[in-house]
Chains A and B, each alone.
Chain A
Amino acid sequence: NAGVMQNPRHLVRRRGQEARLRCSPMKGHSHVYWYRQLPEEGLKFMVYLQKENIIDESGMPKERFSAEFPKEGPSILRIQQVVRGDSAAYFCASSPRTSKRDTQYFGPGTRLTVL
């Protein structure tokens, strides 16, 4: 059973470009979470999605950031018009639908560098 997969692992963008980060949850998991981790800082919650629904996006910046989890395919975190401050590691986690423990299984992360 493959774990949570994220790609790309490293992404370099110039200021003003778009960044698309993909996350494939573990098989059978229908809940996906995105976190951002700045250097030497903790994980900051961004958004929680179930298939085709955004459940909680209270941690998402109001502009330039969006997330989706379509019926088919991976979850996508999209950052438009990237700025240097967007440079960070972005982690995706998934959990199963019926989990009562809310244990989250994390992917290896995508490290975004904005030049």
Chain B
Amino acid sequence: SQKIEQNSEALNIQEGKTATLTCNYTNYSPAYLQWYRQDPGRGPVFLLLIRENEKEKRKERLKVTFDTTLKQSLFHITASQPADSATYLCALREQTGYSSASKIIFGSGTRLSIRP
């Protein structure tokens, strides 16, 4: 079955720098991959989705890339701010026998801390 690995449990960077988080998957390439943000004590919040035929997707200070050859997605936050501190989860849909079924599996997350 598909496995997702996020590069590190924690990442600590200086405010204003670009944070880069990595998500690797082990098996088939999914049709798309998603990134979520989770703050302590709260549920995950959807940020971005990138399809397999898209190399890059941007939303304000966020950028996601998707390399199906490397089986990897990179998540970038430019001009990082302390308010960006959170856990970021990568997720993808696991293929099932049902066209309408959507079992989403998540990585364990990377805890990002932006220090002032």
Contacts and interface: CB of A to CB of B under 8 A. Distances in A.
A95 interface: yes
A82 B28 CA distance: 37
Given A41-B108, A55-B98, A56-B96, A103 B103 contact: no
Contacts of A91: 43-44
Interface residues of A, number: 25
Q: With a 10 A CB-CB cut-off, give which of B43, B49, B102, B105 has the most chain A CB atoms.
A: B43
Contacts, number: 55
A58 B102 CA distance: 13
Interface string B37-68: 00001111110010000000000000000000
Given A45-B104, A101-B32, 13 more contacts: A42-B89, A42-B108, A42-B109, A43-B89, A44-B106, A45-B105, A45-B106, A48-B103, A55-B101, A101-B49, A102-B102, A104-B104, A108-B43
Interface of B: 32, 34, 41-46, 49, 89, 93, 96, 98, 101-109
